[in-house]
Structure 1
Amino acid sequence: MNYYFKFKSELEKRHLWEVFIYLFFGGLATLVNFITYFVARDTLNLNLFTSNTISWIAAVLFAFITNKLWVFQSKSENFLELSIEFAKFIFYRILSYGIDMGVMFLLIEGIGVSDFWSKLITQIIVVIANYLFSKLFIFKPKDKIV
C-alpha cells in the first residue's frame, strides 16, 4: 500500500493524478462497453445498433458513478444538484455516443474495418472526448462564495 501512496503523491505533484485515475476508470468503462457489446452481439445475436446501444448504456452508468465518486470527487448538496449533474452527464454522453456510432459506421461500412478494431478506435476517441466534457462542463468545481 505504501507504493500506492508514493505513486499517487508523485502524480499529484505533477497534476496528473486526475488524468491517471480517469484513464484507469475509463479503461474499466471501456471493458464494460466491450464485454457488453460482444455478449449482446454474439450471445444474444443482436444487431450492431442494438448491441452498441446496450453497451453504451452499461458503460455510461458505470462511468457516472466512478467519475462522480473517485475521479472528480464531486459532491452534491441535494437531489436537484445530483439530478442536474446526471442530466449534463447524460447529455454529453449522448453526444459522444453519436461520435461513437458515426465513427463505427464509417469504419465498418465505409472503410471495411472489422468491428473489433472499429470499437477499439472509437473507444479511444470517446474516452478523450468524455474526459474533456466531464472536466470542463459536468464535474467542474463549484464556485466558492467567500
Structure 2
Amino acid sequence: MIKKIWDKVMNREVISYLVFGVLTTVVNWIVYVGMVKAGIDYRISTAAAWLVSVLFAFGVNKIFVFQSYDLHLGFVVKEMISFTACRAASGVMEMVLMVIMVSWLNMDEYVSKILVSIVVVIVNYVFSKLFIFRKSEVPPCKER
C-alpha cells in the first residue's frame, strides 16, 4: 500500500515541481537576503523577492513542470493571470505569516522565512495543479 501511494505521489510532475520549487525558492532567497543585507526592510525585501520569483516560476512551471505548451496568446494570458492571482494570494499569505512570526512572535526572520517557504511551496503546487495548468481537452496543436 505504501508503494502504491509512493508511486502515485512521486511522479515526473511532482519531482520536477520540487526541483523547480527549490530553484524558485533559491531565487526568492537570493533577492531577499541581498536586499536585507543592503539594509532594506524585511517587508519590502519579501515583496520584491516574491515578484522576481513569480516571474521565474511562471516560465519553469508552464514549460517544464506542467508541460503546458499551448502558446496561443489568449491561452498564455489566461494562464498568466491565473498564475499571478494565485501567487498573489500565496504572496499575501507569505507576507502575513512573516509579519506574524517576525513582528508579533519575535521569531528569527530567517527561521520564519524557512517555515513560510515550505508552506508556500505546498500551497502553490495545489493552486498550479488544480486551477492554472489543468490539462486542456483540446490538444495544443488544434486551433481554439
Q: Structure 1-normalised TM-score?
A: 0.86
Deviations 1:9-45 (A, max 9, x none): xx988752211110110001001111100111112x2
Runs of 4+ in 1 over 2 A off after TM superposition: 11-15
Mapping of residues 44-123 of structure 1, within 5 Å: 45-123=39-117
Aligned residues: 134
Q: Structure 2 CA distance, aligned partners of 1:49 and 1:14?
A: 35
Paired letter, 1:34? W
User: Compared with structure 1, are the counterparts of its residues 109 and 22 closer, same or farther at alpha carbon in structure 2 (3 Å cutoff)?
Assistant: same
Give 2:24's aligned residue.
Answer: 29
* Shift in CA distance, 112/131, structure 1 to aligned 2, threshold 3 Å: same
Deviation of 1:113 (Å): 0.8
CA distance in 2, matches of 1:120, 1:14: 23
What secondary structure is seen at the aligned counterpart in 2 of 1:46? coil
Given the alignment, which residue of 139, 142, 145 partners 2:136?
Answer: 142
Classify 1:47/1:66 alpha carbon distance in 2 versus 1 (closer, same or farther; 3 Å).
same
Give, as a single letter, the amino acid of the residue that structure 2 aligns with 1:18. Answer: E
Partners of 2:51 and 2:11 in 1: how far apart?
28
- Segments of 5+ residues of structure 2 without an aligned counterpart are 1-5, 140-144
Note the alpha carbon deviations across 1:88-113, whole angstroms, 9 max, x for none: 00000000001101111111111111
Match of 1:7 in 2: none
2:142 equivalent in structure 1: none
**Cα RMSD (Å) of the superposition?**
1.8
Which amino acid counterpart does residue 108 of structure 1 have in structure 2?
V
Tell me by how many angstroms 1:48 deviates. 1.5
Deviates more, 1:14-23 or 1:60-69: 14-23
> Which of 106, 121, 127 is the matching residue for 1:127?
121
Amino acid at match of 1:49: R
